């Protein structure tokens, strides 16, 4: 397929710079999310991962650069955390039905897909971390998204809960034929699911297929040899054309 025939990306970010009082949080970040992508964004704490997600969602304006969405793009978003007051008597069913656009068949499908039928009468505030993440995932799927964005969806789960959640996300990706963009520290656990890894430390250090990124010197410098070796034991057999590259020149803009 020639470049002229390639479909337009769902999200296209170009030369994103974002400054805060302490300096540049994002530096010359360019990234495309295509319709069939499963991208995992990794990087140490403070690298700018959540800021980049908010910028891609157009919830935060960059200091410089552009973010473009495909016309009519439907995005489902699972935030890193959500504050739920224990004094608010909101159960799971009511929470899901706050979206008045959900039809009865859609609601039934969401509940079945995410395995939360036994939670519908439970108060949100009484859910465990894994249960709440499934409910938030169901809520994000209510718009029938073309792109699902998740910010550290498994950070408060034990290893068993992490594995179940990542497996569910992979199943939804395959079934719904939607793109997925996810921030995760558990790269060794999502190794078999993700098609592309983007390593961020204010700028894009490296990107490509997981097995290639695991061998990249910049990835190893950020995460260490142990993580690289741990990733190397996970086979990655998806038949996709992955190009491993360093993204764009790193040049600070003039004030």
Find residue 12's DSSP bridge partners: 32, 68
Q: How many CB atoms lie within 10 A of CB 246?
A: 14
pLDDT at 239: 42
pLDDT at 241: 41
Enter the CATH code of domain 8-74+145-255. 3.40.50.300
Q: Please, what is the angle between helix 159-176 and helix 104-114, to 10°?
A: 140
* DSSP character string of 174-217: HHHT-EEEEE-S-HHHHTTT-SEEEEEESEEEEEE-HHHHTT-H
Q: Give span(s): CATH 3.40.50.300, the chain.
A: 8-74+145-255
pLDDT at 184: 87
For the purposes of burial, counting CB atoms within 10 Å of the CB of 225, is it exposed (0-12), middle (13-18) or buried (19 or more)? exposed
Q: Would you say 33 and 9 are in contact if contact means Cβ atoms under 8 Å apart?
A: yes
pLDDT at 28: 96
- The residues of the chain scoring below 50 in pLDDT are 235-250, 254-255
CA-based radius of gyration for the chain: 19
CA distances from 236 to 40, 191, 196, 209, 211 (A): 14, 7, 11, 9, 7
What's the pTM value of the predicted model, to 2 decimals?
0.83
Structure token digits, residue 241: 């054309």
Q: Is 88 helix (H, G, I), strand (E, B) or coil?
A: coil
What letters, b where the CB count within 10 A reaches 16 and e where it falls short, cover 20-36? Answer: eeeebbbbbbbbebbee
pLDDT at 78: 93
Q: Would you say 133 and 78 are in contact if contact means Cβ atoms under 8 Å apart?
A: yes
Structure token digits, residue 142: 């209510």
pLDDT at 255: 42
């Amino acid at each position: 397929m020639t470049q002229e025939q390639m479909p337009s990306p769902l999200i296209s970010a170009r030369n994103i710079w974002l400054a805060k009082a302490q300096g540049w949080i994002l530096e010359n970040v360019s990234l495309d999310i295509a319709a069939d992508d499963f991208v995992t964004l990794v990087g140490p704490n403070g690298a700018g991962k959540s800021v980049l997600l908010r910028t891609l969602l157009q919830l935060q304006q960059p200091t410089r650069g552009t973010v473009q969405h495909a016309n009519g793009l439907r995005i489902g978003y699972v935030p890193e955390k959500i504050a739920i007051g224990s004094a608010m008597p909101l159960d799971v069913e009511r929470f899901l039905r706050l979206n008045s656009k959900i039809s009865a068949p859609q609601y039934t499908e969401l509940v079945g897909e995410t395995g939360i039928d036994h939670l519908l009468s439970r108060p949100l505030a009484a859910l465990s971390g894994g249960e709440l993440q499934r409910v938030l995932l169901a809520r994000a799927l209510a718009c029938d998204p073309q792109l699902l964005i998740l910010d550290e969806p498994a950070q408060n789960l034990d290893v068993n809960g992490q594995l179940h959640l990542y497996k569910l996300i992979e199943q939804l990706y395959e079934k719904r034929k939607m793109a997925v963009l996810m921030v995760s520290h558990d790269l060794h656990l999502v190794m078999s699911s993700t098609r592309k890894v983007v390593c961020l430390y204010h700028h894009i250090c490296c990107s490509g297929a997981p097995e290639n990124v695991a061998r990249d010197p910049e990835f190893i410098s950020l995460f260490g040899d142990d993580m690289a070796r741990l990733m190397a034991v996970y086979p990655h057999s998806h038949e996709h054309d992955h190009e491993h590259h360093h993204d764009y020149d790193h040049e600070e803009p003039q004030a």
